Chain A
Amino acid sequence: MNSILGLISTGPKIVFPSISYKAIGPEIILIVGALVIMLISSLAPSLKRTKAIGAMAFAVTAIALIDSIVLWSNFVSHGASRAIASSIVLDGFAIFLMITISSAALLSVLAGEAYLSRSRIGRVEYHCLLLLSSAGAILLASAGDLIVVFLGLEILSIALYVMAAFEKRNQLSGEAGLKYFILGGFSSAIFLYGIALTYGATGTTNIQKIASFLATNTVTSNGVLLAGIALLIVGLGFKVAAVPFHLWTPDVYQGAPAAASGYMAAVAKAAGFAGLLRILITAFPTQRLDWQPIIWGLAALTLVVGAILAIVQSDIKRMLAYSSINHAGFVLLGVAAGTAGGVSGSLYYLIAYTFMVIGTFAIVNVFEDSDTGVVPIERLRGLARTNPALALFMAVLLVAQAGAPLTTGLLAKFSVIAATVKAHSYILAVIAMLSAVIATFFYLRVVAVMYSKVPQDKVSESPIDDEEVLVFASGGDGDLGSFDRPEGDLAVLAPAKVAVARSLRISTEAKIVVGISILFTVGFGIFPNPLVHMADLAKLLF
């Protein structure tokens, strides 16, 4: 007894790591911002339904973005560094992704404001969850330790599960949340087991120390290490929606509100790939011959399955979900190459995709049915006639995703395929280009629908005027299961009318989001040098 008491009172001396709060600045800003918004809304409940909450969230993401840019300029002048007992790495890779994620959060706050002013539920909760999940994603991007990777992954995912189930009146949204939650929980457990096995084989969870251990030692029980790597790949493969771990994606993207789907597609992917790239390329360069064929196979499957299944979708949100799987395949090309060129190609692809996909989903949000959350492609028919500007912007964002010239999409696809060719995997490059051709078809199909004429009898001699359709389309009376009512039938018969009525109500926030996305996509497509230079600087610190 005395010996135990003696141990407690004297104890071993605890050595603290020196904590650099500057290194985790963006995370602190986002988390404190979310807490402040929660506190203000609790103390002044009258603010809950006003745009002030959105403005505060916007300010928080803007400050986080500015802080990331300051970190970038520090990195450019002073080089990469480690912080907090090497569990945080501030290299170009991490800071580039910080900028990507905080700009995605900034755009998503605006897109979310456009969605929330229509849906009128949980404004505070939506913004707080968004800020917290961005903090998790940024933590993951700058993690130098497998445990910190896991922490970031969980902070990111738990908020995303709730955002997927956000439209609580809508069954599809509930289904999306539950599916994402259960499968996400499984994948997190698998990932954690991977960490445990890796720790068992190497004796450390620090990514840099794993690499130096494997470089200087020969692992006798190779099986444990290989199983660990495999489980880590499975866990992160789920997060980035690589085939065959993609099955949740279409249901979740369809059920979640379009604004949340856009955010998920951009940020969950960026963060997942951050983890995948850092773990595989920094921690296991010695095991390259083991993991490279697996990533090769995943990339090929993801490219082909994503492109082919997107063709047969009739709902635009499902189509974009499969297209996001196809994009994940392209980013996997950079991972499979495993070179510095592959990493910077992947990073360039991720930032380009972030802006394209958030802009696209912000436009889809305009057409979303408040009751069911579905957006049939047919609803966009004749959009070019009724709202030419919106149709043009949608078309630009879609062909950019297909990889059209003069957009960031082309350069993104080019850079990852070039890295693949340089790594001598020619077959994979051919598969990627073929899948890009297939993908072009389904993007152009939506463009064709928007620019096609509406059959005459459905437009001019319609007995209902715009106002009535507007009431139905916005679900004004809140009556679920309204398809047996006469107005429901009329609205189904006249989707173009719905488009006309809805297109008149594009909020300012949505316009800003689409404008920024277009400016980024086309601007850096025409003048690519600054962004390409940035992506080239964004190297992993070994």
Chain B
Amino acid sequence: MAPYLPIVIMLGLGMLFAAGSFIGSGLLAPKKPTNAKSAPYECGIVPQREPVARFPVRFYLIAMIFIIFDIEIIFLYPFAVVFHQLGSFGLSEMVVFAVVVFVSFVYLISNGALDWGPVKRYGIQEPYPQRTTTSTIRRVASGEEAA
């Protein structure tokens, strides 16, 4: 049991600190909520519309490419350490492994995992759909009404 004692003490201290922080901030912090304070924070600007619900899933693809190469590195490091003992056998096995990883990378690129930028669509997209030809901004800009 003795070797585990520091771990138990550490666990107790950690829990004590977490609980203490919560209780302390609950007891000491002043509470004066206003509308502005409880609104979502967006760099000090009052949010005008909902945040964009859809964003490109390619972020995940990039993350997956990263993991593929990460795992390759995990195997390459210990291989490099015992390179001499493993000899030509180790080298050939590592080349096979690298080729397999590379094929998956070629597959990802061919499927557009690295094609960044907005998705191209035909036709002009209205940037602010709520602004129509009858809205104030457009009337000022068009010039015909002003004349």
Contacts and interface: CB of A to CB of B under 8 A. Distances in A.
Nearest to B111: A42
A15 to B, nearest CB: 10
| Interface-centre pick from B84, B85, B109 (highest chain A CB count, 10 A) | B85
| Interface-centre pick from B81, B86, B107, B109 (highest chain A CB count, 10 A) | B107
A35 B106 contact: no
Contact of B104 (A9, A11, A16, A38): A38
Contact of A14 (B85, B104, B110, B111): B85
Given A35-B100, A35-B103, A38-B103, A43 B85 contact: no
A11 B109 CA distance: 41
A35 B110 CA distance: 14
A46 B110 CA distance: 11
Nearest to B106: A42
B82 interface: yes
A13 interface: yes
A8 interface: yes
A335 to B, nearest CB: 35
A43 B110 CA distance: 7
Contacts of B110: 41-43, 45
Nearest to B109: A42
A39 interface: yes
Contact of A43 (B81, B84, B89, B106): B106
Interface string B110-144: 11000000000000000000000000000000000
Interface in A35-92: 35, 38-39, 41-43, 45
Interface residues of B, number: 14
Interface residues of A, number: 13
A3 to B, nearest CB: 16
A39 B103 contact: yes
A38 B105 CA distance: 10
A16 B87 CA distance: 11
B109 A16 contact: no
Contacts of A14: 82, 85-86
| Interface-centre pick from A13, A41, A42 (highest chain B CB count, 10 A) | A42
A456 B18 CA distance: 75
B67 to A, nearest CB: 14
Interface in B77-103: 81-82, 84-86, 89, 100, 103
Contacts of B85: 11, 13-14
A41 B106 CA distance: 10
- Overall SS of chain B's interface: helix
A38 B144 CA distance: 60
A8 B107 contact: no
Contacts of A43: 106, 110
A13 B84 CA distance: 10
A38 to B, nearest CB: 5
Nearest to B99: A35
B82 A16 contact: no
B99 to A, nearest CB: 8
Contacts of B107: 38-39, 41-42
A43 B106 CA distance: 8
Interface in A128-163: none
A16 B82 CA distance: 13
Contacts of A13: 85
A273 B28 CA distance: 63
Nearest to B89: A16
Contact of A11 (B82, B103, B106, B111): B82
A9 B110 CA distance: 42
A212 B86 CA distance: 31
A159 to B, nearest CB: 14
Nearest to A124: B107
A39 B111 CA distance: 12
Interface string A343-356: 00000000000000
B57 to A, nearest CB: 12
Contacts of B103: 35, 38-39, 42
Given A14-B86, A16-B89, A8 B81 contact: yes
A43 B102 CA distance: 13
Interface string A1-17: 00000001101011010
Contacts of A42: 103, 106-107, 109-111
Contacts of B109: 42
Nearest to A11: B85
Nearest to B85: A14
Contacts of A45: 110
A14 B84 CA distance: 10
A16 B90 CA distance: 10
A189 to B, nearest CB: 20
Contacts of B89: 16
Contacts of B86: 14
B75 to A, nearest CB: 15
A13 B86 CA distance: 9
Contacts of A9: 84
Contacts of A38: 103-104, 106-107
A143 B127 CA distance: 60
17 contacts: A8-B81, A9-B84, A11-B82, A11-B85, A35-B100, A38-B103, A38-B104, A38-B106, A38-B107, A39-B103, A39-B106, A39-B107, A42-B103, A42-B107, A42-B110, A43-B106, A43-B110
> Which 5 pairs across A and B sit closest by C-beta, in order of nearness?
A42-B110, A42-B107, A14-B85, A42-B106, A38-B107
Given A42-B106, A42-B107, 14 more contacts: A11-B85, A13-B85, A14-B82, A14-B85, A16-B89, A38-B106, A39-B103, A39-B107, A41-B107, A42-B103, A42-B109, A42-B110, A42-B111, A43-B106
Interface of B: 81-82, 84-86, 89, 100, 103-104, 106-107, 109-111
